[in-house]
Amino acid sequence: MTNGTKLAWDDSVLPFQLDASDIRGRVARLDGVLDGIVRQHNYPPVVEALVAEMALLTALIGQTVKLRWKLSLQVQSDGPVRMIATDYYAPQSEGEPAQIRAYASYDADRLTDGAPFDQVGEGYFAVLIDQGPDMKPYQGITPLGGSIRASAEAYFAQSEQLPTRFSLNFGRSSEPGGAEHWRAGGIMLQHMPKASPLMAGNNGTGDVLMADDLMDGDARDNWNRVNILLDTVEEMELIGPSVSPTDLLVRLFHEESPRVFEAQAIRFGCTCSEDRVRQSLSIYSARDIGTMTTDDGRVTADCQFCGKHYVLDPATVGFEAEKSDSD
């Protein structure tokens, strides 16, 4: 697939801060990363759109996790699209790119002609953070509602008590002489946690907290003002090649004293390996492994994220696996 001219800000996340309003944020642009994700599968367009939205949210949220941490987002539902899962692997050291992978599980015969989120039924949006060995993983969930973006906003309000807003755009793009490919762009805004003295600290008016439930006074005024400015963004400014992230921030928020930090590069990447496949099969007995063995005497496994195909000797997997002389 030809992506045309590679832009300096493609496949990156630019963090920024609005000093005049105590708000932080990120601008993300994804191009080759989405190509790497969706080309592993033959998803219908509505499923590709949901995967693109989840990947974009993952890039925006993941930029805040620490080195060597892993962020996972999941949508689980009873609709035609049963699950969407994404992983964000933070860099191992400063200056290295982060890695993203994603996949969806769906019932093709239940998909409709409706909008992408119409394919998602009742369920939940989950955030999981793996902080590394000897650390208990963090998990938070919130009910699905309205869209994946809205569900993520509700998660931050409910579980983190952080007012959060996303403006996203994604779709197929084509350039002269090149094939269609997916592009995505978005902005994330979040009220700074250090602004807690301005927070109202109330419990909201319903079962699920929203951003306005967490603020009053100057905090709410600042938040509303910046969101009105964000509402002026045009779709092509988010996704198009002609406006850089820094120019976009100046256009939207010049009166809010925007300050940018170092951009984080994003790449498509998968951590699957034969060792991981063997580990996943280590819970099965030799009898169980026998039921998984093909007619030609092999155990096969496919990575759901990248599509890599593994072929193993059934005698060497499971907790009753034969040991080699070197073991």
Tens of pLDDT, residues 182-214: 899 999 999 977 533 223 333 333 455 566 667
Looking at the chain, the whole-number percentage of residues with pLDDT higher than 70 is: 87
For the chain, the residue count is 327
Q: 3-state DSSP: the chain helix, strand, coil percent, rounded to 5?
A: 30, 30, 40
| Local confidence band at 313 (pLDDT 50, 70, 90 cut-offs) | confident
Using CA atoms in the order 146, 149, 154, 157, what is the torsion angle rounded to 10 degrees? -150
Nearest to 253 by CA among 219, 235, 228, 290: 228
Name the residue among 153, 193, 168, 150 with its Cα closest to residue 17.
Answer: 193
Q: What superfamily would CATH give domain 274-316?
A: HSP33 redox switch-like (3.90.1280.10)
What would be the CATH architecture of the domain defined by 12-268?
Answer: 3-Layer(bab) Sandwich (3.55)
Break the chain into its structural domains and give their ranges. 12-268, 274-316
Q: Is the dihedral of CA 231, 234, 240, 241 positive or negative?
A: negative
Write out pLDDT tens, residues 213-259: 677 678 889 999 999 999 999 999 998 788 999 999 999 999 999 99
pLDDT band for position 325 (cuts 50, 70, 90): very low
pLDDT at 260 over 90: yes
DSSP SS3 for 296: coil
